[in-house]
Structure 1
Amino acid sequence: ALMFLQDTELENLQPGRIDIDGDNIFALVQKYTTKDITEGKWEAHRKYLDIQYMVHGSESFGFVNIDYLEPTEEYNDEKDIEFLKGEGDFLQLNDEEFAIVFPSDAHMPGIAVEEKNEVFKIVIKVKL
Structure 2
Amino acid sequence: MVLDHLSQSSKYTSLHPLFAKAFAYIEQADLASLEVGKFDIDGNNIRAIVSDSNGKTADESTAKFECHNAHIDIQVCIRGRERMGWKARGTCIAPRGEYNAEKDVLFYDDKPDMFFGLTDNQFTIFFPEDVHAPMIGEGMIKKLVIKVKI
Q: Aligning the two structures, in what range does the TM-score lie when normalised by the shorter sequence?
A: over 0.9
Structure with more of its chain in helix, by fraction: 2
Shift of 1:64: 1.1
* Structure 1 vs Structure 2 CA RMSD: 0.9
- Residue 86 (structure 1) aligned with residue 110 (structure 2): yes
Counterpart of 1:3 (choices 13, 24, 42) is: 24
- Residue 77 (structure 1) aligned with residue 98 (structure 2): no
Cα displacement string for residues 58-89 of structure 1 (whole angstroms, at most 9, x for unaligned residues): 11111111122221121110000111021221
Structure 2, unaligned runs of 5 or more? 1-21
Q: Which residue type is aligned with residue 44 of structure 2?
A: D
TM-score by length of 2: 0.80
SS at match of 2:99: coil
- Residue 110 (structure 1) aligned with residue 110 (structure 2): no
Q: How many corresponding residue pairs?
A: 125
- Residue 122 (structure 1) aligned with residue 144 (structure 2): yes
Partner of 2:46: 25
Q: Distance in 2 between matches of 1:105 and 1:72?
A: 16
Q: Which residue type is aligned with residue 60 of structure 1?
A: R
TM-score by length of 1: 0.94
Structure 1, unaligned runs of 5 or more? none
Partner of 1:95: 120
- Identical-residue share of aligned pairs (%): 38
Q: Which residue type is aligned with residue 46 of structure 2?
A: I
Runs of 4+ aligned residues of structure 1 deviating over 6 Å after TM superposition are: none
Tell whether the 8 Å contact from 1:68 to 1:86 is kept in structure 2 after alignment.
Answer: no
SS at match of 2:24: helix
Partner of 1:43: 66
SS at match of 1:5: helix
Cα displacement string for residues 34-60 of structure 1 (whole angstroms, at most 9, x for unaligned residues): 111111221000000000000101111
